[in-house]
Structure 1
Amino acid sequence: MQSDNRLFGDAAKIFTGAAGTLAGAAREAEAGVRERAREWIGGLDFVSREEFEAVKAMAVAARDENDVLRARIEKLEAAKE
């Protein structure tokens, strides 16, 4: 009877060790995937929201200025004729 309990105890220790090993491997794999994703995303040319909004505002201002200058040119050309 004692030997049966020892057998189950040893099996439980083996399964517990295997579960710990698998959990550690899963954590390492997850960390590796996260690192690869950071490297991949870091290599792309993403801009922050603030940078995007600043450039967008500059484009709107340039477009407005262009419209004003176009109207001015058309007025000068009309006066020339």
Structure 2
Amino acid sequence: MQSDNRIFDDFVKVLNGAAGTMAGMAREGEAAARERFKTFVGGMDFVARDEFEAVKAMAAAARDENDALRTRIEALEAKLAGAVPAQPAAAKATKPKKSAPGT
């Protein structure tokens, strides 16, 4: 049902135009805010998830390798301790000193 009054039709057109303009302004404001937030967060040196996961996996591999090396060193030290008797520190300190020539 259409109204015969042109004032109401013009008023509805103005409101529709204003609503469209407001929606456009909201979209532009959201895009500007999103861009500003990206710039702000980008300056904080955050790490991407995939980079974080890669470093985390490398750290786990390094820990595993460190544990394996520690086990090998302990086994070699035990083997060395059983094969060669350790010299006490006092025996090393009682070695005769070389005298200076001419004395």
TM normalised by structure 2 equals: 0.57
* Cα distance in 1 for residues equivalent to 2:30 and 2:19: 16
**Amino acid in structure 1 at the alignment position of 2:77:** E
Distance of aligned partners of 1:47 and 1:19 in 2 relative to their CA distance in 1, 3 Å threshold: closer
**Amino acid in structure 2 at the alignment position of 1:46:** V
Aligned length: 77
More helix by share: 1
Mark the structure with the bigger radius of gyration.
Answer: 2
> Which residue is 1:26 aligned to?
26
Q: What 5-or-longer segments of structure 2 have no aligned partner?
A: 87-103
Distance of aligned partners of 1:10 and 1:41 in 2 relative to their CA distance in 1, 3 Å threshold: same
Distance of aligned partners of 1:53 and 1:17 in 2 relative to their CA distance in 1, 3 Å threshold: closer
Q: What 5-or-longer segments of structure 1 have no aligned partner?
A: none
1:1-81 correspondence to structure 2 within 5 Å: 5-44=5-44, 45-49=46-50, 51-78=51-78, 79-80=80-81, 81=86
* Cα distance in 2 for residues equivalent to 1:47 and 1:13: 48
Identity score, percent: 61
